[in-house]
Structure 1
């Protein structure tokens, strides 16, 4: 993601990232961070607010050359106090890559693994889910979600059975477009789920209208995808320096951190899952889950920066 590389180079983030050096080597001991956590409403279990998405970034060959940087991303995630990895069968080889990485260094027990089902029909869903268990090399998946509301009623019925059997801990539904938010609301009104995943960012704020308030009111955990709008938000601030107040008032040392802090300032959000294949970006993202979050006035100033 060249645009993000430029922003890291032209902000105070490089100095801040130096403080993350202990996270980058593998530390089997306790994580070295003060990463915020928020409760999953249906259980009270606390989940770190920064996770890792794997769309595009983890669709690589299963060889050491390709896996090595992703292994460092995973180690950075875990040593920074985080645990959530979100993947899907439709992300190419990402599930198998996540399974291979989780199998190393006794990493699986430190992870909250989330995947999806995107099939039509019960038998097709069963086959795809079985393949996900095999690819992830696990006997239990922490969160299994109906991807993009595909055959939602059938697949949620299957997921509930797996949850009752103890093979899945939590279930949910997902989408990634503003145009699907009303459909998500319709599903959430009639189907009990633990999680919902959707898009939300300083540049895509439709979820603030109904979806986020509904989830807060009904006790549904929220995962946020597309926090940078696939890097489009970096283009909005191309050539601009991060304002001094972002560091002074919020402790944000990069544009990425400011974007993530904007999202996390909404208390309905449980965690945000930016995708990356770069351990330095992973460390930078984790810093957004520390320190002060913007208040209403500061959120408005952030919106104006990206207008």
Structure 2
């Protein structure tokens, strides 16, 4: 049998009952009792699962009953494998409200790590937007509030520092998603010392390795990684391609896990947050946090292999 494991058609699940409410993985290489590894948040030492969940587009489903049932199973699988981080934003349409509605009905709601963002200009506008996010996500205290794409960051930093001191938020951070903003992120990290920074990083987009990772290590900042699949282009690049045989040595069983384990092989990555609305993709993503993590030599081998395709 070929060592082929495509994202679309090689994730084999048993019978899907109740519109996705009873998915059971039938993988031979891990089971639902396995839990993903954790890494400490530098500023506090709190253990954070290394694979989380992004909600851009995927949770913007409004009131659709069928889509909400599938997303509930996505959340069940996230928690079932020990994950907790859910990242959203007021920019993501109905995502915050959907997250709040669905997690409010789950018995593990208090075990989740809620992260969202402020995405507007002006102090009072920012406060109103963040208060709205609290209400939509159904939390009295936000685990992580971030300044989305550095919009009016100088204003919001003051509010977030005050809110953390008051206990209204546990951590605060800054975000962006393009290489050209990495230098700005570094300058703000050095001057304002956020708890978290969120940015883009992937097997073919390694600009953050130039100095951003060194900066977060120096100032003890946790990192959330967005764009891990480069908007899906990585899967298009490997479509129809076999996984190398040597990936089995690193407990890699799919291209999705290949791409995520490359990211997690960087010890300065706290958590990677791929988005999905499909339960079987959530299971596959969580598999990247299980088993062995590639060493430095292997991560370069992984990158070279993808480049050669």
TM-score for the superposition, normalised by structure 1? 0.91
Partner residue in 2 for 1:65: 66
Q: 1:10·1:241 contact (CA, 8 Å) conserved in 2?
A: no
Q: 2:228·2:259 contact (CA, 8 Å) conserved in 1?
A: yes
Partner residue in 2 for 1:18: 26
Per the TM alignment, residue 9 of structure 1 is displaced from its structure 2 partner at its CA by 5.4
SS of 1:91 mapped into structure 2: coil
**1:261 to 2:269 alignment:** no
SS of 1:124 mapped into structure 2: helix
Partner residue in 2 for 1:150: 151
Q: 1:8·1:14 contact (CA, 8 Å) conserved in 2?
A: no
**1:150-185 CA distances to partner (integer Å, 9 max, x unpaired)?**
111110111111111111000000000011101111
Q: 1:147·1:174 contact (CA, 8 Å) conserved in 2?
A: yes
Large movers: runs of 4+ above 6 Å:
none
Distance 1:99 1:83 in 2: 14
Count residues with an aligned counterpart.
292
**1:305 to 2:301 alignment:** no
Distance 1:240 1:302 in 2: 14
Distance 1:213 1:14 in 2: 40
Partner residue in 2 for 1:100: 101
Q: 2:36·2:286 contact (CA, 8 Å) conserved in 1?
A: yes
SS of 1:66 mapped into structure 2: helix
RMSD of the alignment, in Å? 1.8
Per the TM alignment, residue 8 of structure 1 is displaced from its structure 2 partner at its CA by 3.0
**1:84 to 2:92 alignment:** no
Per the TM alignment, residue 10 of structure 1 is displaced from its structure 2 partner at its CA by 6.3
Distance 1:61 1:91 in 2: 11
Structure 1: unaligned runs, 5 residues or longer: 1-5, 24-31
Distance 1:145 1:82 in 2: 20
Per the TM alignment, residue 245 of structure 1 is displaced from its structure 2 partner at its CA by 0.8
Partner residue in 2 for 1:141: 142
Distance 2:63 2:134 in 1: 17
Distance 2:306 2:236 in 1: 9
**1:99-148 CA distances to partner (integer Å, 9 max, x unpaired)?**
00110123320200000001111011011011101101110110000000
Distance 1:175 1:238 in 2: 29
SS of 1:90 mapped into structure 2: coil
SS of 1:105 mapped into structure 2: coil
Partner residue in 2 for 1:250: 250
Partner residue in 2 for 1:169: 170
Q: 1:17·1:284 contact (CA, 8 Å) conserved in 2?
A: no
Partner residue in 2 for 1:34: 35
Structure 2: unaligned runs, 5 residues or longer: 14-23
Partner residue in 1 for 2:286: 286
Per the TM alignment, residue 237 of structure 1 is displaced from its structure 2 partner at its CA by 1.1
Deviates more, 1:220-229 or 1:63-72: 63-72
Q: 2:193·2:219 contact (CA, 8 Å) conserved in 1?
A: no
Where do 1:194-209 residues align within 5 Å? 194-209=195-210
Distance 1:177 1:263 in 2: 16
Q: 1:227·1:274 contact (CA, 8 Å) conserved in 2?
A: yes
Partner residue in 2 for 1:29: none
Partner residue in 1 for 2:275: 275
Per the TM alignment, residue 62 of structure 1 is displaced from its structure 2 partner at its CA by 2.1
SS of 1:230 mapped into structure 2: helix
Where do 1:37-52 residues align within 5 Å? 37-52=38-53
